[in-house]
Structure 1
Amino acid sequence: MLETRRLRLDYAGRRSSDAASAVVTDLDLALPGGAVTAIVGPNGCGKSTLLRGLARLLRPSAGSVLLDGADLHRLPSRELARRLGLLPQQPSAPEGITVEGLVRLGRHPHQGLFSPWTAADQQAVELALEQTGTTGLRDRPVDELSGGQRQRAWIALTLAQNTELLLLDEPTTFLDLRHQLEVLDLVTGLQRGSGRTVVMVLHDLGQAARYADHLVVLRDGRLAAAGPPATVLDADLVAEVFGVKCRVLPDPETGTPLVIPAARHGAHLVRRAATPDIHRPAGR
Structure 2
Amino acid sequence: MEYSFRPQWRPWNVQSGYSPACGRCGKFHKHYICNSINQRCFSCGKFGHYSSKCFSKVTKDRKSTPVHVKSRKQKERDIARMNSYIERKNIIRALPFSGMRHSAFVQYLDIANVLKTELKSVKQKISKERNTNLEQQKCIEDLKLQLKNQQIIESERDQFKQELENIQQQKEESASPVDVQEYVHQIQKLQHSLEEEKKCVKLVHELFALRCSEFSDEKQNLENEKQALEKEKADLCSKVHFQADSISQLTFELQDLNHEYHLVSRQNQQRPNNNNRRYNNRRGGRFR
Bin for the TM-score computed over the shorter chain? under 0.3
Structure whose alpha-carbon radius of gyration is higher: 2
More strand by share: 1
| TM superposition score normalised by structure 2 | 0.13
More helix by share: 2
